[in-house]
């Protein structure tokens, strides 16, 4: 039998000095680019967070010394008297924001569900989407003037209801677009599985798609709430403000942004001191409310818990 000659395997070459240097240079370049991009990302984060921390720190510096028990329990004192507080403004802001949330959040979520689940490719959906984008860029003072013409002038007086309507309309576009985008991220396989089990389309949208996208929708609602919580211009034309206690929805009502604006533009040092304290309380109320919502959402309370 003839045997086939075995071809010898050539020995592996050791890398030359040139290849070794090139590999080291490539490694150094990649390391430099990686560190540069990481540094830019950290710098961008600092640039975003630093102004917020500076504003919060300055508010604490200027307003913390003016916070006391009377600030949270008393109404503003007459001009010339020291002391007093913003208890009526804190409660009034809670009333207006609660009213705005009760009106704006359901409407915004319903509009977002229609755009994502039922209105794809329809002219009405395109019109709703375009209207939401336009409303999202309308200045708040224009919204206040519009509600003043539509509600205040018809009722012949300012009211907490008018202020809640103005803020609710400002909340709707943000919630609508956020809800639509979050529902668009829900996989179609989940919807198809529900429909395959005989679940109606409307029930699928509410029980499956909406529940799956609820964390993102809650975030959109919080963003809308935080945006309108500090608005002053719409309330100047609607709620108008009140120096006394008032919980009636058909009467002028106090609000923290309004009281801060009045005190900040006043000529008295006492008013300026209270304006700083009110600004700090407003920021803290927004932070606490947003934090509580996030905690409940992460624990599954608002997601239905599984």
Return mean pLDDT, the chain. Answer: 86
Q: What is the pLDDT of residue 301?
A: 43
Q: What is the pLDDT of residue 285?
A: 87
Instruction: Indicate the DSSP class of residue 267.
Output: S
The span from the CA of 159 to the CA of 95, in Å, is 12
The span from the CA of 291 to the CA of 287, in Å, is 6
The span from the CA of 104 to the CA of 97, in Å, is 10
Q: What is the pLDDT of residue 5?
A: 60
Residue 106 has pLDDT above 90, yes or no: yes
> Does residue 55 lie within any of the structural domains?
no
List pLDDT tens digits, range 260-277.
999 998 888 888 999 999
> Does residue 245 lie within any of the structural domains?
yes
Band (pLDDT 50/70/90 cuts) for residue 83 is confident
> Does residue 6 lie within any of the structural domains?
no
The span from the CA of 215 to the CA of 42, in Å, is 27
Q: In percent, how much of the chain has pLDDT > 70?
A: 91
Pick the range with the lowest mean pLDDT from 8-17, 253-262, 269-278: 8-17
The span from the CA of 160 to the CA of 96, in Å, is 6
> Does residue 205 lie within any of the structural domains?
yes
- φ, ψ of residue 241 to 5 degrees: the values are 100, 160
Pick the range with the lowest mean pLDDT from 1-15, 36-50, 106-120, 174-188: 1-15
Q: What is the pLDDT of residue 237?
A: 93
Domain that holds residue 229: 70-298
The span from the CA of 117 to the CA of 181, in Å, is 11
Residue 300 has pLDDT above 90, yes or no: no
Residue 299 has pLDDT above 80, yes or no: no
**Residue range 95-112: mean pLDDT, rounded:** 94
Instruction: List residues bridging with 79 in a β-sheet.
Output: none
Number of domains observed in the structure of the chain: 1
The span from the CA of 241 to the CA of 233, in Å, is 12
- pLDDT top residue among 156 and 175: 175
What DSSP string describes 198-245?
A: T--HHHHIIIIIHHHTHHHHHHHHHHHHHHHHT--HHHHTTTB--SS-
Q: What is the pLDDT of residue 146?
A: 93
Q: What does the chain come to in residues?
A: 306
* Alpha helices by DSSP H, the chain: 17-63, 69-73, 87-113, 123-136, 140-147, 153-155, 160-184, 188-196, 201-204, 210-212, 214-229, 233-236, 256-264, 269-298
- φ, ψ of residue 120 to 5 degrees: the values are -65, 125
Count Cβ atoms below 10 Å from residue 32 Cβ, excluding itself: 10
Residue 252 has pLDDT above 70, yes or no: yes
Question: CA quadruple 236, 238, 240, 246: dihedral positive or negative?
Answer: negative
Count Cβ atoms below 10 Å from residue 49 Cβ, excluding itself: 10
> Does residue 48 lie within any of the structural domains?
no
Band (pLDDT 50/70/90 cuts) for residue 13 is low
Residue 34 has pLDDT above 50, yes or no: yes
Q: What is the pLDDT of residue 269?
A: 87
186: left (phi over 0), alpha (psi -120 to 50) or beta: beta
**CATH number of the domain that residue 108 is part of:** 1.10.3720.10
> Does residue 43 lie within any of the structural domains?
no
Tell me the CA distances in angstroms from 96 to 8, 12, 283, one per residue in order: 88, 79, 16
The span from the CA of 134 to the CA of 125, in Å, is 14
List pLDDT tens digits, range 90-100.
999 999 999 99
> Does residue 31 lie within any of the structural domains?
no
> Does residue 246 lie within any of the structural domains?
yes
- φ, ψ of residue 7 to 5 degrees: the values are -80, 120
List pLDDT tens digits, range 45-74.
999 999 989 988 999 999 888 888 888 989
The span from the CA of 151 to the CA of 249, in Å, is 13
pTM (2 decimals)?
A: 0.81
């Amino acid at each position: 039998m003839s045997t086939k000659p075995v071809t010898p395997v050539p020995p592996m070459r050791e890398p030359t000095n040139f290849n070794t240097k090139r590999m080291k240079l490539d490694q150094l370049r990649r390391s430099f680019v990686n560190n540069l991009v990481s540094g830019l990302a950290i710098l961008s984060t600092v640039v975003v967070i630093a102004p917020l921390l500076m504003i919060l720190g300055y508010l604490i510096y200027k307003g913390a010394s003016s916070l006391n028990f009377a600030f949270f329990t008393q109404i503003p004192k007459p001009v010339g008297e020291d002391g007093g507080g913003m208890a009526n403004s804190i409660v009034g802001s809670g009333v207006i924001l609660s009213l705005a949330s009760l009106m704006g959040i359901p409407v915004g979520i319903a509009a977002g569900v229609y755009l994502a689940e039922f209105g794809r490719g329809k002219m009405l959906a395109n019109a709703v989407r375009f209207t939401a984008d336009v409303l999202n860029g309308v200045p708040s003072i224009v919204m206040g003037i519009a509600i003043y013409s539509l509600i205040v002038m018809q009722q012949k007086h300012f009211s907490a209801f008018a202020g809640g309507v103005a803020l609710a309309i400002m909340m709707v576009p943000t919630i609508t677009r956020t809800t639509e985008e979050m529902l668009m991220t829900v996989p179609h396989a989940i919807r198809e599985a529900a429909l395959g089990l005989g679940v109606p389309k409307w029930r699928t949208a509410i029980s499956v798609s909406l529940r799956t996208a609820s964390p993102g929708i809650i975030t959109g609602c919080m963003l809308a709430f935080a945006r309108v919580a500090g608005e002053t211009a719409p309330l100047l034309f609607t709620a108008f403000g009140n120096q006394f206690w008032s919980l009636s929805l058909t009467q002028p009502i106090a609000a923290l942004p309004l009281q801060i604006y009045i005190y900040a533009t006043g000529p008295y040092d006492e008013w300026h001191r209270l304006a700083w304290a009110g600004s700090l309380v407003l920021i803290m109320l927004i932070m606490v409310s947003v934090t509580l919502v996030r905690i409940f959402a992460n624990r599954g309370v608002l997601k239905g818990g599984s």
